Amino acid sequence: MSDADSPAPSTVASETDEEPVLAVENLRTTFYTDKETIRAVDGISFDIGPGETVGIVGESGSGKSVTARSIMGLVDAPGRVEDGSSIRFKGEELVGKSPEQWREIRGNGIAMVFQDPLSSLNPVYTVGNQIKEAVRLHRDKRGQEATDVAIELLEAVGIPDAARRLKEYPHQFSGGMRQRAMIAMALACDPELLICDEPTTALDVTIQAQILQLLKDLQEERDLSIMFITHDMGVIAQVADRVNVMYAGEIVESAPVVELFEDPRHPYTRGLLRSIPGRQQGERLETIEGDVPTPTEEPTYCRFAPRCPKAFEDCEAVHPVSVPVESGATDHTAACLLYPEDRSREEAVELHRSRGTDADADTTADAEDDQ
Ligand SMILES: Nc1ncnc2c1ncn2[C@@H]1O[C@H](COP(=O)(O)OP(=O)(O)OP(=O)(O)O)[C@@H](O)[C@H]1O
């Protein structure tokens, strides 16, 4: 049996051999609205190893934020993480936990940094009060002890004169300082996994670079694992060890960062890379025509096909699953009928077709193996 034939194609091992800090398997998150059923995250799998940064990249609407919210236990009605999804943090299954248990996990190991610090910080309280509140909640410290930890945290994120700045209000901080303060609050629970959802999108380029460097430094000092969400391929190139490219709720390509940039395989990833300003000097900046579709039905076709320059007839009739881009490529996968590349077109299409119909059988077999 060749590598391309072997089962469980969608889980790609992280770069390290250690047990992953986060293991997401067949995650499905659906929103049931009056009008439609939105399959916002539709069967994605990936791991994050200790001290590793995994990037999730894709256009607006591809399902990045819903992935983050699912992992944080922050999906509310009309949304639901479907049965059969698995999110394991340090080996512990999180799917099915009660809201209280989720709160406990968010305070003990997983923290999140959002895009817009101004809307996450409360304008009527000082920055110090808000960091101290996080310290009280997560470290059970009060009074001077909490103040001391808050000062330590502000210093850790590179805010000078921390004792004085604790007394200031969010509007007295610059955009970059506010994001540093948010990162300090996230660190209050001493996380092992930091989920960053577009943390630098609202900042100008110089400040963006400083925050990215801060995250790298903190990662090194604290052996943090980071899941980094962005629509910006330029940012992902700077921070990620491995990249998962999302499109309409699915991971369409996954590879170590250098390989993804040097040898992108999925037509969508190639399109995203062609639209980075300055990447191909002198060449016209291209965009991918059209928008990400809202995934509302069980896919029996490739969701990218309508925008794909490489689409052929079968793309309308067969749902591509993640396969190695060529036999033996263990850490580079693409969900595209063009792969594995060393197969004939007919063989590759047949592989995807049979994998699609076998998916339910595989899930049942996996569940039986676990017992
Ligand atoms: N509360 C909700 N109710 C209904 N649909 C939702 C809800 N939240 C997200 N969605 C849908 O889920 C899909 C994925 O959204 P998501 O926010 O994860 O995309 P994204 O890739 O993070 O985009 P952006 O960069 O714009 O945030 C979209 O079609 C969106 O409309």
Residue partners of 19: CB distance under 8 A and separation at least 6 = 90, 91
ipTM entry: 0.98
How far does residue 222's CA lie from ligand 1's centre (Å)? 31
How far does residue 66's CA lie from ligand 1's centre (Å)? 6
Which mutation among 28, 29, 31 tests ligand 1's pocket best, with the greatest number of atoms within 8 A of CB?
31
Nearest to 191 by CA among 224, 152, 229: 224
Q: Is the CB of 64 under 6 A from ligand 1?
A: yes
Phi/psi-derived region of residue 42, left when phi > 0, alpha when psi is between -120 and 50, beta in every other case: beta
CB 293 within 8 A of CB 248: yes
Q: Is the CB of 176 under 6 A from ligand 1?
A: no
pLDDT at 104: 84
**Terminal-to-terminal C-alpha distance of the chain:** 26
Neighbours of 4 (CB within 10 A): 21
pLDDT along the chain (371 residues), means of 10: 41 59 97 94 97 95 95 92 96 92 85 81 93 89 92 92 94 91 91 93 86 93 95 92 97 97 96 75 65 89 95 96 90 97 95 77 38 34
Q: Is the CB of 68 under 6 A from ligand 1?
A: no
pLDDT at 149: 94
Which mutation among 66, 81, 116 tests ligand 1's pocket best, with the greatest number of atoms within 8 A of CB?
66
Span 210-240, pLDDT tens digits: 999 999 999 999 999 999 999 999 999 999 9
Type of residue at 198? E
Boundaries of every domain in the chain: 9-109+191-279+293-301, 118-190
Q: Strand runs (DSSP E) across 90-187, as ranges?
A: 92-93, 110-113
How many residues in total does the chain contain?
Answer: 371
Neighbours of 345 (CB within 10 A): 11
| 334 vs 253: CA distance, rounded Å | 4
| 311 vs 27: CA distance, rounded Å | 27
CATH of segment(s) 9-109+191-279+293-301: 3.40.50.300
Minimum CA distance residue for ligand 1 atom 5: 31
How far does residue 202's CA lie from ligand 1's centre (Å)? 18
CB 318 within 8 A of CB 347: no
Residue partners of 35: CB distance under 8 A and separation at least 6 = none
Strands 333-334 and 323-324: antiparallel
pLDDT at 11: 42
Phi/psi-derived region of residue 326, left when phi > 0, alpha when psi is between -120 and 50, beta in every other case: beta
Q: Is the CB of 201 under 6 A from ligand 1?
A: no
| 276 vs 75: CA distance, rounded Å | 32
Q: How far is CA 350 from the centre of its chain?
A: 30
Secondary structure (DSSP) of 281-349: TTSPPP--SS-PPP--S--SS-TTGGG-TT--GGGGT-----EESSTT-SS-EE-STT-STTS-HHHHH
pTM for the full model? 0.89
Span 94-124, pLDDT tens digits: 999 988 898 888 878 999 998 877 777 899 9
Q: Is the CB of 31 under 6 A from ligand 1?
A: yes
Q: Tell me the helices (H) and strands (E) count for the chain, helix number first.
A: 12, 13
CB 42 within 8 A of CB 298: no
